[in-house]
C-alpha cells in the first residue's frame, strides 16, 4: 500500500492521544525529536521513510501505562500490541503492519527482539540518541526529579555505577548516575553508520558537560 501524508497525519492525531499527561521525558516532544532524527538518519541510510515515520509515531504509545506501573511491563511490546489494533483502521496491509510492529517492538532492544530491518535499526538509533547529547542531559535531570530522587548529584555515582544495580526510580538516581550507568554507553549501542556519527558527537558533548559540572562543584571554575 501507499502510505500517504494524510494517513501519517491521521496516525499522528491518534498517537498523540496517548501522551496526554505524560511525563516530560516521554511526552509528545520526544516523539517529535525522534521523528526528526529518524527521518534524517533514515534518508541517509535509505530506509522506507513513510513506514519509518509511522513506526516512530506509534513506538511509545504504551509508555504511559508502563510509567504508571513504574516499569512493571515492557512498553515496546505494549505499543506493538496497540499498533496492531490501530493500523488496520487506516488500510495498512498485513505485510506493512508486521514491518511497523517489528520496528516498534524492537525499538527498546532490552527485550528479546533484535532490530532486523533498516527501519527498525534507524528507529532504535534515533530513540537511543534522544537520551544522549544536550537533550539527553536535560532529560536525565528531568527524569531523576520525576522519578523520586531530589538530589542534583550525590557524589557517589561512580561507586553506585559499579554495583550494576538498577537505580531507576531510586532516591539516588541522579542525572550523573544515569550518565555513568546508561548514557555514556549509548555510542557503543547504536546500529547504523549514520547513528554512530551522531552518537559520537553527542557523547563528546556529554563528556565535556559533566567534566565542567564537577569542576564547578569543586569550585575550580
Ligand atoms: Fe520507548
Ligand atoms: Fe521513545
Say how many C-beta atoms besides its own lie within 10 A of residue 93's C-beta. Answer: 11
CA of 96 relative to ligand 1 center, distance in Å? 20
Phi, psi at 102, each rounded to 5°: -60, -45
pLDDT in tens, 149-163: 778 999 999 999 999
**Model confidence, pTM:** 0.93
Number of the ligand closest to the Cα of 130: 2
Ligand 2 ion: Cβ-proximal residues, 5 Å cutoff: 60, 127
Q: Is the pLDDT of residue 122 over 90?
A: yes
User: Which grid coordinates belong to 117?
Assistant: 530491518
Cα(144)–Cα(142) distance, rounded to whole angstroms?
Answer: 6
Cα(221)–Cα(214) distance, rounded to whole angstroms?
Answer: 9
CA of 218 relative to ligand 1 center, distance in Å? 36
User: Which grid coordinates belong to 49?
Assistant: 521513510
pLDDT in tens, 124-152: 999 999 999 999 999 999 988 887 777 89
CA of 63 relative to ligand 1 center, distance in Å? 7
The Cα-based distances of 73 to 45, 54, 63 in angstroms read: 32, 23, 10
Number of the ligand closest to the Cα of 139: 2
Cα angle, residue 192 at apex, residues 76 and 97 outer, rounded to 5°: 40
CA of 205 relative to ligand 1 center, distance in Å? 23
Number of the ligand closest to the Cα of 56: 2
Most confident of 45-59, 132-146, 163-177: 45-59
Q: Which helix (H) or strand (E) holds 30?
A: helix 28-44
Amino acid at each position: 500500500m501507499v502510505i500517504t501524508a494524510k494517513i501519517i497525519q491521521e496516525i499522528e492525531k491518534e498517537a498523540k492521544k496517548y501522551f496526554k499527561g505524560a511525563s516530560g521525558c516521554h511526552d509528545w516532544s520526544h516523539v517529535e525529536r525522534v521523528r526528526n532524527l529518524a527521518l534524517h538518519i533514515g534518508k541517509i541510510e535509505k530506509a522506507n521513510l513513510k513506514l519509518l515515520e509511522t513506526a516512530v509515531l506509534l513506538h511509545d504509545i504504551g509508555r504511559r501505562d508502563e510509567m504508571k506501573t513504574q516499569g512493571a511491563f515492557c512498553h515496546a511490546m505494549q505499543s506493538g500490541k496497540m499498533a496492531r489494533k490501530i493500523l488496520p483502521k487506516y488500510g495498512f496491509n498485513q505485510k506493512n503492519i508486521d514491518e511497523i510492529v517489528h520496528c516498534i517492538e524492537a525499538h527498546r532492544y532490552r527485550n528479546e527482539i533484535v532490530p532486523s530491518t533498516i527501519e527498525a535499526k534507524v528507529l532504535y538509533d534515533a530513540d537511543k540518541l534522544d537520551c544522549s547529547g544536550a537533550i539527553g542531559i536535560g532529560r536525565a535531570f528531568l527524569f531523576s526529579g520525576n522519578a523520586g530522587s531530589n538530589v542534583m548529584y550525590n557524589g557517589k555515582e561512580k561507586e553506585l555505577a559499579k554495583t550494576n544495580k538498577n537505580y531507576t526510580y531510586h532516591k539516588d538516581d541522579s542525572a550523573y548516575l544515569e550518565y555513568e550507568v546508561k548514557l555514556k554507553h549509548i555510542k557503543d549501542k547504536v546500529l547504523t553508520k549514520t547513528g554512530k556519527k551522531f552518537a559520537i558527537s553527542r557523547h563528546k558533548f556529554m563528556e565535556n558537560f559533566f567534566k565542567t559540572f564537577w569542576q564547578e562543584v569543586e569550585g575550580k571554575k
